[in-house]
Structure 1
Amino acid sequence: MPFQRDVKLLVLVINISGIILVAGMADVWVELRAPRFVVHRHSAVLRCEHNVDADSLYKVVFFKNGQRLMKFVHGRDPPYELYNITGADINLIQLTPTSVTLERMDFAASGTYACEIALETPLYSKVSKLHEITVIVRQKFRPKIRIKHKKQSSNDHLEATCQSAPAHPAPHLTWFINNMKVDERLTVPHGTVNTHRHHHGIQLAMTNSSLHFPLSSLQLFPNQTVIITCLSTIPSYASVGEGFADVQNHTVTVNVVRMEPPPTQLPVKIVSSEFSSSSRCGTKLILIVLVICLCHFKP
């Protein structure tokens, strides 16, 4: 009987311990941190970050498009197992249990990446969210703005077009006037156009956009200069902590003549009372002289 009580107590302790460990697994997190965009033939570091103690970590696996890229197993000799990857080389010197450096990345290296961590005691594993990496070709020159008239009236609509430089993927265009972003409802995107230019077998594309902006909406001084900017970026919005992968911009100025509203009535000249009195006296004097003259020459 005492033996049976000891057995029950031992099982109870194991069960309680298991409940605590399993409940703690809900607090485990894992995240793959890597750049969203990588310039063609450049490198990228993939880091599998987590909150598991290093002594408890048993295995780390990196994936690309669901296929294994690298596996680390604690206690094995050798601890690393590498798999084939198309479009990049793994830097063996910088390899760690939780990081992989991909070098000379080609367009085939673009894809969806993830990582997984595993514990041996208790048996548990968790996979990170998917992370997209795109290999890009940067713009080699700034976008081009075209405006019909560099001098306009404040009552006119500003008409302008912008075309980006060739790149991959096609850049995104954003308009600014006096350093303020223009409402997208006042712009007309014209999509992308494939060019005859290629970069290592990838066809580059350009983006076009038009601007139709009412200058009357601006608070302008007479003969004020309006600054127009076309921003060409990859991607369309800068990510937090990383910014744009590629950015170019072009700025031009337009002279705007402010049109004054027409007067509501004709201008009236106000004459002072003194001037009016003297004018009346002068008129009387002229009349008297005329009368005298007429009398003198009467036949």
Structure 2
Amino acid sequence: MHWRGNIQLLLLFIHFSGIILVAGMSEVWVELRAPRFVVHRHSAVLRCDHNVDPESLYKVVFFKKSQRIMKFVRGRDPPFELYNVTGAEINLIKLSPTSITLERLDFSASGPYACEIALETPLYSKVSKIHELNVIVRQKYRPKIKIKHKKLSSSDFLEATCQSAPAHPAPHLTWFINNNKVDESLIVPVGTLKMHRHHHHGMPLLMTNTSLHFPLTTLQLYPNQTVDITCLSTIPSYASVAEGFADVQNQTVTVNVVRIEPVPTQLPVKIVSSKLNLSARCHVDRVLFVLVTFLYHIYF
């Protein structure tokens, strides 16, 4: 029985010394919540969410590119330790153990961020997944659509080009015909163009160009109808469930589908009345009579 008492004392020591992990630690989660896109010179709140009892939380650390930007340690005086953040300023008034507010974000503030929580008893720490934050410049106007022919027949190809407004990063363009997304195989991405004349605080802005070659035969169209063509310009290329698009602009133009008469398969036939036919026949008969009389007098 003496050995059982020693084991109990050992387990009690291990529990209070905090050198062993409890089974429940596998259920601990931690996540860095922050916007994916922030407009240049705006602010962003980074929160380190977790399911640990706040009273058990010993330390919280925020990282950018594996470099510390803020550390909180319970019981220290002062409890916060701040580090230099490239391209942003930390708001000291809004600082808390599990959140920081970055203000006046510059382009260099873009990059991967993460956070870590730690417990003292038992000893345990866990790091969140990487969260990418991007500083953007929004588009100032709608994309521009150019149509090669604004009057087409239902058997023609619809040819058009679309160009986005300058922005950062380069906007993504999506075509819609009558509010239906166009298949990517019918779109020719021309590429992006760096606009050195258009820049934002030293950052060159980018424009995206694309062209469309769409067969109208794939649509259920009738002559003298119209087709709506929409170019959607977004940052990023897809919308998240929580945030949607960070920036979106669109433009719609209308094309007329006209009736074109079919080309005739044969030459037109001139209809002559029966009276005209009789007059012409009499004239021919008189000419033949004169010709026969003339030949008779010559040879006989």
| TM category, shorter | 0.7 to 0.9
Aligned-partner residue type, residue 35 of structure 2: P
- Looking at structure 1, the residues matched to 225 and 187 of structure 2 have their Cα atoms a distance apart, in angstroms, of 23
- Looking at structure 2, the residues matched to 258 and 185 of structure 1 have their Cα atoms a distance apart, in angstroms, of 28
Give the percent of matched residue pairs that are identical in Structure 1 and Structure 2.
77
Identify the residue that residue 25 of structure 2 maps to in structure 1. 25
Q: Does 1:10 align with 2:41?
A: no
Identify the residue that residue 174 of structure 2 maps to in structure 1. 174
Identify the residue that residue 144 of structure 1 maps to in structure 2. 144
Identify the residue that residue 125 of structure 1 maps to in structure 2. 125
- Looking at structure 1, the residues matched to 26 and 162 of structure 2 have their Cα atoms a distance apart, in angstroms, of 51
1:221-248 per-position Cα deviation (integer Å, ceiling 9, x unaligned) = 3311100000000000011110111110
Q: What secondary structure does 1:24 align onto?
A: helix
Counterparts of 1:204-215 in structure 2, within 5 Å, are 204-215=205-216
1:187–1:209 CA contact under 8 A, matched in 2: yes
Aligned-partner residue type, residue 85 of structure 1: V
- Looking at structure 1, the residues matched to 75 and 217 of structure 2 have their Cα atoms a distance apart, in angstroms, of 73
Identify the residue that residue 244 of structure 2 maps to in structure 1. 243
- Looking at structure 2, the residues matched to 112 and 80 of structure 1 have their Cα atoms a distance apart, in angstroms, of 22
Cα 1:75–1:215 change in 2 (3 A) is same
Deviation for aligned residue 1:11: 2.8
2:115–2:127 CA contact under 8 A, matched in 1: yes
- Looking at structure 2, the residues matched to 87 and 20 of structure 1 have their Cα atoms a distance apart, in angstroms, of 41
The unaligned stretches of length 5 or more in structure 2 are 266-300
- Looking at structure 1, the residues matched to 15 and 104 of structure 2 have their Cα atoms a distance apart, in angstroms, of 51
Q: Does 1:219 align with 2:220?
A: yes
Deviation for aligned residue 1:138: 0.6
2:143–2:163 CA contact under 8 A, matched in 1: yes
Identify the residue that residue 200 of structure 1 maps to in structure 2. 201
Q: What secondary structure does 2:10 align onto?
A: helix
CA RMSD of aligned residues (A): 2.3
- Looking at structure 1, the residues matched to 36 and 120 of structure 2 have their Cα atoms a distance apart, in angstroms, of 32
TM-score (norm 2): 0.83
Identify the residue that residue 34 of structure 1 maps to in structure 2. 34
Q: What secondary structure does 1:209 align onto?
A: strand
Aligned-partner residue type, residue 209 of structure 1: T
Identify the residue that residue 75 of structure 1 maps to in structure 2. 75
2:152–2:256 CA contact under 8 A, matched in 1: yes
- Looking at structure 2, the residues matched to 113 and 48 of structure 1 have their Cα atoms a distance apart, in angstroms, of 11
Identify the residue that residue 164 of structure 2 maps to in structure 1. 164
- Looking at structure 2, the residues matched to 188 and 260 of structure 1 have their Cα atoms a distance apart, in angstroms, of 32
Question: Which moved further from structure 2: 181-190 or 20-29?
Answer: 20-29
- Looking at structure 2, the residues matched to 19 and 180 of structure 1 have their Cα atoms a distance apart, in angstroms, of 60
- Looking at structure 2, the residues matched to 234 and 13 of structure 1 have their Cα atoms a distance apart, in angstroms, of 57
Deviation for aligned residue 1:5: 3.8
1:233-268 per-position Cα deviation (integer Å, ceiling 9, x unaligned) = 00000111101111100100001125688999xxxx
Aligned-partner residue type, residue 119 of structure 2: L
- Looking at structure 1, the residues matched to 67 and 25 of structure 2 have their Cα atoms a distance apart, in angstroms, of 25
Cα 1:13–1:72 change in 2 (3 A) is closer
Identify the residue that residue 228 of structure 1 maps to in structure 2. 229
- Looking at structure 2, the residues matched to 16 and 197 of structure 1 have their Cα atoms a distance apart, in angstroms, of 63
1:91–1:103 CA contact under 8 A, matched in 2: yes
Identify the residue that residue 93 of structure 1 maps to in structure 2. 93
- Looking at structure 2, the residues matched to 117 and 27 of structure 1 have their Cα atoms a distance apart, in angstroms, of 14
Identify the residue that residue 188 of structure 2 maps to in structure 1. 188
Moved over 2 A (4+): 2-5, 8-22, 257-264
- Looking at structure 1, the residues matched to 22 and 4 of structure 2 have their Cα atoms a distance apart, in angstroms, of 26
Cα 1:239–1:133 change in 2 (3 A) is same
Cα 1:44–1:191 change in 2 (3 A) is same
1:80-106 per-position Cα deviation (integer Å, ceiling 9, x unaligned) = 110011111111111111101000101
Identify the residue that residue 294 of structure 1 maps to in structure 2. none
Deviation for aligned residue 1:46: 0.3
Aligned-partner residue type, residue 153 of structure 1: S
Deviation for aligned residue 1:22: 2.7
Cα 1:29–1:149 change in 2 (3 A) is same
TM-score (norm 1): 0.83
Cα 1:260–1:23 change in 2 (3 A) is farther
